[in-house]
Each structure stands twice: as C-alpha cells, then as structure tokens.
A and B are shown apart, each in its own frame.
Chain A
Amino acid sequence: MSDTTPEQFRYTVPEELERLDRSGFAPSTNALITGPEGSGAHELAIRALVSGGPDEGKILVTTQIPPAEIVDTYRELSSDGSLSNLHVIDATGLQGDHSGGEDTDPVVSTVTTITDIGISITESERLLDADRLRLGFLSVHPVLDVVEPDQAFSFLYLLTTRVEQSGYMGVFTVRTDTIAPKTIHTFEHLFDGVAEMRPSNPDEPTVQLRGFGE
C-alpha cells in the first residue's frame, strides 16, 4: 500500500487530510471520509478531487447527489471554475428511482448497477488517458440499499485495489447516520486512512484522522 513512485510524486490534498506528512498522498492511497449528513464529508471529498493538477484525471461517481449539483460544487471549489479532465458517473439510479434528469457536460454515463459503475470507470480511464487519476465515490451507503453487505464489501474491495494497483488516489465517503458502526468498521479495512467528520460546529467541522502517515 501507498508506496511512492520513483519520482516521488504525491497527490496534493486539502490540508484537513494531511497529517504527519504535509506533502500529500502517495500514489495508491485510498481514503474514507465518514460523517453524518451535513458533516461536510462530500465537500471535503470533492475538494480532494479539485486539488489535483491539470494533468490529472478525475472520476467522480455519485450515488445520491444529483450530478448537476456535484458539478456546481466542483466548479465553485475549483480556483478557476474549470471542469477539465473531470468525468462524472451518475449512479443515482442505483436504487431504481433515477429521474432521468438532464446530463451535465462532464457526465459521461448514467448507470443503474454496480457492474455498470465499474464499466464506466474503465471507460472514463480510457477517455481521460491520464497516468495520475483521482477517483471520488460519493457515497457508499446507497450501495448497501441494493446489495448485501458482503457484496458491497467485495465491490469496494475491487474498486480500492484497482486504485491501489494502478497508482491512483481514491476518496470515498460514507454516511455514519445510515450505516451500522460495525459495517463501517469492516469497510475501514479497505482504506489506508479514515477521516472522521465531527460536526460539533456546523461552520467548522472538526476532522479526526486515523491511519494517514502512520
């Protein structure tokens, strides 16, 4: 896990996600951001994608938030409002209630199964053709509404190991108010570090990190 490449490239990340090593994430790092609804977990995950350089590809899978909203947030958080090298995979129809809304420019695919999420990721990788890539997955909990926990775990295993073995960076979010702590603890084994959002103050949520740089 998390070996650096010969050129010592590191993925830059928001400062909340850095700890001992202030120079970013090593390639192959998978991070899990946990927190209840409104904790800022999604925004932090999007910022982790936005902070990538212009030569990096970014793939964002959304299972709950409408893609147009995701894109707006991404644009707002981006210093120049650029959406370049961003592909959004709309998986909000996983639970079968997809509204068939309008496609936004960087949305490359709309999917309804976890297999199709994987197929879309491989297609996006091909289209982006970037050696360095960030995968954002917002959020894990709707997956548990359509498959059993062991299947969700296997799905995440495949995604995180693909990120790890390809030298990418992965950022996944999960809502702690909808999933049993035991399930989250089990999922945590698949990640190099966990950022736990603690919304004690809604304007300035605290982030507790476990695993990063240790």
Chain B
Amino acid sequence: MTDTSGRTVLLVDDEPQLLDLYESFLQDTYEVITATSGTEGIAASNERDVDVAILDRRMPGLSGNEVLEELRNQDPSVKVLMLTAVDPDFDIVSMEFDSYLNKPVSQSELISNIEELLALESFTSTVREYHALLRKEATLRQSKTTVELKRNDTFENLEDKIADLEATVGNQIDPTDDETFVSSLRNVEAGGLDDE
C-alpha cells in the first residue's frame, strides 16, 4: 500500500457541486486543493507541490486538455487523472495523462485510481534506490576481492537490502497492464521524483 500521508491532490472542475463532492471523497485521505477553472488550477500547482491532478476535460476558458499540457510542461512527473463526462475518443492517444475515468465516479473508484498513480511514483523511487545499491555493489565488486567481500558485514547487509528492494519493486506495479506499463515508462522518462 502506498503511503498517502502528506500527498496533495489538485481537483479542477468548473462545477462547484462536483468539486465539493470529490473533495469530500478525498479530504480524509489526502490534502486537497480545489480550483474551478484551468487557470486557477495551473496557478495552484505553481504555488504548491501537487502529487496528483484530477482534471475535468470540458471547462470554459482553458480546457482540461490544455491544463494537462501546461501541467506537463511545469512538472512532467505530476500524475494526471482525467475525470470527465467526455467519452474517450482517439484523441486520447496523443494526450499525456496517466489515467482516465468517466463521471460519475464512486469514492472507492476515485481513491483506488489515485493509489495506482501514487504507486507509479513509489515504483520510480524504489527502482532508483535499487539501481543505486546495485551500482554500489558493482563498485565494491570491482575494487575488493571475493574473500574480502565475503567477510564483510556491510557488504552482506548491502546484498540483503538489494534482495529486499528487488522483492518490493516487483510487487509495486503490474507491467503486463498496458496502461500501467506506459504510464510507468512516461514517469521514468520524465525523471520520476525530484532528485534526492
């Protein structure tokens, strides 16, 4: 399960009643920011670190598609969920969102989708850590003898941690699911989390 503490969700929808409803769905689990227009949503994301943005597609002024583009320009790693009454058409192929849901949506469905998006972020972070430890292991293997490595507790701990991370990362996402696979790749390409 992804740690949701301190996660911020940005909700953008021009219908105040829906915003209120979705906010009530999410406010016990996440920190929620609401915006009633695309312009307001972009401004909010400039001021705060947003983990997941939930966008209505059809809005007066900036559309959800335009907000999506702007958010991607600002921060390619932000996860974007399109939540809309617009049935998906072939135009979605070129849109860089991470998930798509049709209204109406239940609380459990919405939270479940957000959790999947946050899991992508966790995956990126874990696989990065896994890679960093493997690099350390490779460095030690190049500079130490087999006997030195076998006798060293620190190296043994390193190998244990690598095995743990290998198991953890393997459970975080399902790469056989096309949407997860592509979203994960997009996340990797965007650089994932900020450099630590």
Q: Which residues of A contact B (CB under 8 A)?
A: 113-115, 117-119, 122, 147-151, 153-155, 157-158, 161-162, 165-166, 181-182, 185-186, 189
Instruction: Given A153-B127, A153-B131, answer yes or no on A115-B189 (Cβ-Cβ < 8 Å).
Output: yes
- B135:A186 contact, CB within 8 angstroms: yes
| Contact (Cβ within 8 A) B176 A154 | no
> Would you call B26 an interface residue if the criterion is a C-beta within 8 Å of the partner chain's C-beta atoms?
no
Q: Are A186 and B178 in contact (CB under 8 A)?
A: no
Q: Which residues of A contact B181 (CB under 8 A)?
A: 118, 122, 158, 162
B188 is an interface residue with CB less than 8 A from chain A: yes
Q: Is the CB of B185 within 8 A of A115?
A: yes
Given the known inter-chain contacts A166-B176, A186-B134, please indicate yes or no for A115 contacting B186, CB distance below 8 A: yes
In the complex formed, the residue of B with least CB distance to A113 is: B189
Report yes or no: B182 in contact with A118, Cβ–Cβ below 8 A: yes
Q: Residue A150 contacts which of B131, B175, B184 (CB distance < 8 angstroms)?
A: B131
Contact partners of A165 in chain B: CB under 8 A: 174-176
Contact of A154 among B131, B139, B174 (CB under 8 A): B131
Pick from B138, B166, B176, B186: contact of A186, CB under 8 Å: B138
Closest residue of chain B to A148 (Cβ to Cβ) is: B191
Q: Is B106 an interface residue (CB 8 A)?
A: no
Residues of A within 8 A of B189 (CB): 113-115, 147, 151, 155
Q: How many A-B residue pairs have CB under 8 A?
A: 73
B110 within 8 A of partner (CB): no
Contact assessment for B176 and A162 in the assembled complex, using a CB-CB cutoff below 8 Å: yes
The distance in angstroms between the C-alpha atoms of A118 and B175, with both chains bound, is 11
Which one of B166, B184, B189 has the highest number of Cβ atoms from chain A below 10 Å of its Cβ? B189
Query: Is the CB–CB distance between A122 and B191 below 8 Å?
Result: no
At the interface, yes or no: B154 with Cβ under 8 Å from chain A? no
CB contacts (< 8 Å) of B170 on chain A: these are: 161
Q: Which residues of B contact A154 (CB under 8 A)?
A: 124, 127-128, 131, 184, 188, 192
| A166 and B176 alpha carbons, distance in the complex (Å) | 7
Q: Which of chain A's residues has its CB closest to B128's CB?
A: A150
Task: Return the contact of A151 from the options B166, B175, B188 (Cβ within 8 A).
Answer: B188
* Closest CB in chain B relative to A179 CB, distance in Å: 12
What would 4 more interface pairs be, CB under 8 Å, given A113-B189, A148-B191? A115-B186, A151-B192, A154-B127, A162-B181
A119 to B178, CA, bound (A): 8
Check B175 against A162 for contact (C-beta < 8 Å): yes
Cβ of A119 and Cβ of B182 under 8 Å apart?
yes
Asked whether, in the complex, the Cβ of A150 is within 8 Å of the Cβ of B138, the reply is no
Bound complex: CA A167 to CA B166 (Å): 19
Contact, CB under 8 Å: A186 / B182: no
Considering the complex, which residues of chain B in the window 111-159 have a beta carbon less than 8 Å from any beta carbon of chain A? Answer: 124, 127-128, 131-132, 134-135, 138-139, 141-142
List chain B residues, Cβ under 8 A from A148: 191
A155 pairs with B142, CB closer than 8 A: no
Chain A nearest Cβ from B186, distance in angstroms: 5
The residues of A that contact B131 with a CB separation of less than 8 Å are 149-150, 153-154, 186
- Taking the closest CB of chain B, its distance from the CB of A16, in whole angstroms, is 26
